[in-house]
Amino acid sequence: MNQQADVIIIGGGIHGASLAYHLTRMGVRPFILERHFTASGATGRSSGLVRMHYDLEPESRLAWASFAYFRNWADVVGGDCGFTRTGFLQFVEPAYSDQLRANVAMHQQIGIPSLLITPDDVARLAPSFVTDDFEVAAYEPESGYADPSATVTSFLAAARQSGATLVQECEVTAVLSTDSRVTGVRTSKGDFHAPIVVNAAGPWARRVGEMVGLDVPVDTWRHDTLFIRRPTAVGPSHPTVIDMANSMYFRPETGGLTLVGLEDNNPIGLSPDGDAEHAAPDFVDRAVDRICRRIPQMEEGSLHSAHSGFDGITPDQRAILGAAGPEGFYLACGFSGTGFKIGPAVGACMAELIVNGRAQTVDITPFSLDRFSSGQLLKGDHAYANVWH
Ligand SMILES: Cc1cc2nc3c(=O)[nH]c(=O)nc-3n(C[C@H](O)[C@H](O)[C@H](O)COP(=O)(O)OP(=O)(O)OC[C@H]3O[C@@H](n4cnc5c(N)ncnc54)[C@H](O)[C@@H]3O)c2cc1C
């Protein structure tokens, strides 16, 4: 195998795959080195919510630019990303109603189809929902969810057709450099050479950062999810929801299932190689209790399955994007439990940064690593409490 590349990407999750795809659109031939198989990390465990509602404008812009891919996937990328439009609702406690209004106004200025609706409107959209604990909701009629593994597969298929090389079962063990400039990587399959190396290693990003002596503040975040078989009383489907009032999100899944995740009690700092097959012992009870608060008929549902996953999380729960450390070394990591939906635009931005020196799709300078040393952590103008607590 020719082990000389233009760019080496460490990690075959959504961010490695999207970056590879976008580099090939610009005539660059990347190698994607993946220690297991594609989407074996956070991406393969992702709940796949696709919505634009954030309280930080640059994140909404990344999600909106990404949405152009999700809704036209076959024409833009080819293949299938499994995007399913369900409509998206954001509920917040009454204390955050003003923030919600301001954030929807910010989304509308960007051009995102988002509107404020009343509890009565919600009851018409989703008759099984309890609607007496919020004053106003945000509604994105176009949003929904996608299939993260299928998204990676089609990004990589398109990238490989245009000159990208994927090497699986290939663990990067060291980053090679001379005179403060990266020259390649050492792996379980030998050395690979390139003047540019990108750390897209998800919850393992801190370890990869250490390979160049860089302290990348990416901890691990463990997150459980479960699937419930919906009772017929709930109806054939329902919108996708972030329900901050109940510290929960949920969405429909094919086969009459509903996926539920919780925003609280997601342990930080465990090994990213830990058990992701089993949810924590008390998770099922807590999640069933929460979903039944919002949809009482779920009492008649039955548990289908539960599992866990790890993502990388940063101190302000926002990604780290940009050049850092030795010349030629880049970071696309720390996606903090919400990074799937912004994958397409982040890959476009990182490719533009690497090839042209600046991202044009969205300004990603706010996500630079040095915000942590300068104490300029990211916070929305109309911030909610941290999503994960
Ligand atoms: C349970 C769960 C639910 C989520 N739900 C949502 C959601 O609904 N919506 C949303 O937008 N986001 C969601 N997220 C977050 C989102 O899935 C992640 O932010 C995103 O998938 C991160 O992608 P990534 O490419 O950075 O990392 P990963 O998918 O983890 O990819 C990194 C890859 O790097 C590889 N790797 C690591 N070290 C090395 C090495 N040394 N050598 C070679 N390869 C290496 C790993 O094997 C891995 O495959 C969720 C995350 C989890 C865990």
Query: Is 259 a residue whose pLDDT tops 90?
Result: yes
Residue 387 confidence (pLDDT): 84
Co-location of 124 and 232 in the same domain: yes
What would the mean pLDDT of 134-147 be, rounded to a whole number? 98
220 in contact with ligand 1, CB cutoff 6 A: no
CA of residue 141 to ligand 1 center, whole Å: 27
| Residues 189 and 135 placed together within one structural domain of the fold | no
Same domain, 155 and 303: no
Atom of ligand 1 nearest to the CA of 38: 49
59 lines ligand 1 (CB under 6 A): no
137 is written with which tokens? 């909701």
pLDDT digits 0-9 by tens, 320-367: 999 999 999 999 999 999 999 999 999 999 999 999 999 999 999 999
Range of the domain at 325: 7-46+149-218+316-373
**Ligand 1 atom with the shortest distance to the CA of 44:** 29
Distances (CA, A) of 107 to 65, 138, 367: 12, 10, 19
CA distance 369 to 169: 29
Same domain as 88, residue 116: yes
pLDDT band, very low/low/confident/very high, at 389 (cuts 50, 70, 90): confident
**Average model confidence (pLDDT) across the chain:** 97
pLDDT in tens, 70-120: 999 999 999 999 999 999 999 999 999 999 999 999 999 999 999 999 999
Q: Is residue 385 part of a domain?
A: no
Q: Which two tokens stand for residue 323?
A: 């050049």
Residue pLDDT, tens place only, 171-187: 999 999 999 999 999 99
- Is 41 a pocket residue for ligand 1 (Cβ < 6 Å)? yes
- What sign has the CA pseudo-torsion 347, 350, 351, 356? positive
226 shares its domain with 123? yes
Report if residue 339 sits inside a domain. Answer: yes
Do residue 223 and residue 130 come from a single domain? yes
Confidence of residue 159 (pLDDT cuts 50, 70, 90): very high
Give me the sheet containing 49-50, strands edge to edge. 49-50, 144-145, 84-85
Instruction: Look at residue 1 in the predicted model and tell me its pLDDT.
Output: 61
The count of structural domains within the chain is: 2
Question: Closest residue (by CA) to atom 4 of ligand 1?
Answer: 46
Residues 210 and 266 in one domain: no
Specify if 159 maps to a domain: yes
The answer to whether residue 361 is domain-embedded is yes
What element of type H or E holds 70? helix 57-70
Atom of ligand 1 nearest to the CA of 251: 8
Residue 12 lies in a domain: yes
- Tell me if 81 sits within 8 A of 343, measured CB to CB: no
